[in-house]
Chains A and B, each alone.
Chain A
Amino acid sequence: MSGRRSTRREEPDELPALRVLGLTKHYGDVVALAELDLVVPEGEAVVLVGHNGSGKSTLLSMVGGVLEPTDGQVVVHGEANDTLRARALRSWIPDNPVLYDDLSVREHLEYVNRMHGGTGDGPEIDDLIERLGLSGREDGLPSQFSRGLRQKTALAVGLCRPFALLLIDEPFVGLDASGRLALLELIEEVRDNGATVVVATHDPEVIDRFDRGIMLADGELVHDGAATDLHDLLSADDRHAG
Chain B
Amino acid sequence: MTADAIALDPGAGLRAVIDLRRARRRRRIGDQAWGDMAYRAYTTGLAALVAVVFLSGLVGDSVLDAAGRADLAATAPSWFGLVAAVILLVGFRSGSRGGPLAMEAPDVQHMLLAPVDRSLVLRRPAVWILAYGVLGGVLVGGLVGSLVDQRIGEALLGWIASGALFGAAAVALALAAAMVTSARFVPSWLPVGLGWVFVAWAVADVVGEGPTAPTTYLGRVALWPLGFSAVSALPLVAALGLAAVGLAVVGRVSVEQARRRTALVGQLRFAVTQRDLRTVVLRRRQLAAERPRARHWFPAPPRWFGRRFPVLARDLQSVARWPLVRVLRVAVLGTLAGLAARGVWAGTTPLLVAGGLAVYLAALDATEPLAQDIDHPALLGSAPVPEGLVMVRHLAEPVIVMLAAGVVGVAAAWAVEPDPEVLRVGALCLVPAALAGVAGAAITVVSDAVLDESQEAVMPPEVAGPRLLFRTVWPPLVAVLGFLPVLVARNAAGTGDPVAAAGTAAIPLLLLVGVVMLWVRFRADIHASIAEAGMGGTR
Residues of chain A at the chain B interface (Cβ within 8 Å): 15, 17, 27-30, 42, 64-68, 77, 84-85, 87-89, 92, 94, 98-100, 102-103, 107, 111-112, 114-117, 120, 157, 162-164, 190, 193-195
On whether A64 and B1 interact (CB within 8 A), knowing A88-B6, A99-B106, A111-B19, the answer reads no
CB distance from A158 to the nearest CB of B (A): 10
CA distance A117 to B1 in the complex (A): 14
B373 CB contacts on chain A under 8 angstroms:
none
Instruction: Write 17 A-B pairs (CB below 8 A) sorted by A numbering.
Output: A15-B3, A29-B293, A87-B113, A87-B114, A98-B106, A102-B24, A103-B23, A111-B17, A114-B16, A115-B13, A115-B17, A115-B116, A117-B13, A117-B115, A157-B110, A163-B6, A194-B2
A66 touches B23 (CB 8 A): no
Excluding A107-B23, A163-B1, 6 further A-B contacts by CB distance (< 8 Å) are: A84-B117, A102-B24, A111-B16, A116-B115, A162-B1, A193-B2
CA distance A94 to B291 in the complex (A): 25
CB distance from A40 to the nearest CB of B (A): 13
CB distance from B121 to the nearest CB of A (A): 10
A88 touches B5 (CB 8 A): no
CB distance from A226 to the nearest CB of B (A): 24
Residue in A77, A99, A100 with the greatest tally of chain B CB atoms within 10 Å: A100
B3 touches A17 (CB 8 A): yes
CB distance from B252 to the nearest CB of A (A): 10
Interface window among B79-87, B254-262, B471-479, B505-513: B254-262
SS class, residues of chain B in contact with chain A: helix
B3 touches A42 (CB 8 A): yes
CA distance A190 to B1 in the complex (A): 7
CA distance A190 to B3 in the complex (A): 12
Task: Judge whether B346 is part of the interface by a CB distance below 8 angstroms.
Answer: no
The 4 A-B pairs with the shortest beta carbon distances in the complex, nearest first, are: A114-B16, A194-B2, A29-B294, A88-B115
Task: Judge whether B9 is part of the interface by a CB distance below 8 angstroms.
Answer: yes
Select B6's contact among A115, A157, A162, beta carbons within 8 Å: A162
Task: Judge whether B111 is part of the interface by a CB distance below 8 angstroms.
Answer: yes
CA distance A89 to B27 in the complex (A): 32
CB distance from B473 to the nearest CB of A (A): 35
CA distance A171 to B175 in the complex (A): 40
CB distance from B261 to the nearest CB of A (A): 13
SS class, residues of chain A in contact with chain B: loop
Q: Chain B 84-114 against A: per-residue CB contact (8 Å), 1 yes, 0 no? A: 0000000000000000000011101111011
A120 touches B16 (CB 8 A): yes
On whether A117 and B2 interact (CB within 8 A), knowing A85-B115, A102-B24, the answer reads no
CA distance A234 to B228 in the complex (A): 77
On whether A116 and B114 interact (CB within 8 A), knowing A29-B294, A194-B1, A195-B1, the answer reads yes
Select B10's contact among A65, A84, A100, A195, beta carbons within 8 Å: A84
A94 touches B117 (CB 8 A): no
CA distance A163 to B2 in the complex (A): 8
A65 touches B16 (CB 8 A): no
CA distance A67 to B256 in the complex (A): 5
B109 CB contacts on chain A under 8 angstroms:
66, 94, 98
CB distance from B293 to the nearest CB of A (A): 7
CB distance from A210 to the nearest CB of B (A): 19
A116 CB contacts on chain B under 8 angstroms:
13, 114-115
A117 touches B7 (CB 8 A): yes
A84 touches B8 (CB 8 A): yes
CB distance from A123 to the nearest CB of B (A): 16
B115 touches A77 (CB 8 A): no
Residue in A29, A67, A85, A98 with the greatest tally of chain B CB atoms within 10 Å: A98
A162 CB contacts on chain B under 8 angstroms:
1, 5-6
CA distance A120 to B20 in the complex (A): 12
Q: In the complex, what residue of chain B is closest to A82 when comparing beta carbons?
A: B255
B106 touches A65 (CB 8 A): no
CB distance from B3 to the nearest CB of A (A): 4
Residue in A17, A67, A92 with the greatest tally of chain B CB atoms within 10 Å: A67
CA distance A114 to B259 in the complex (A): 22
B464 CB contacts on chain A under 8 angstroms:
none
Q: In B23-63, which residues have CB < 8 Å from any A CB?
A: 23-24, 27-28, 31
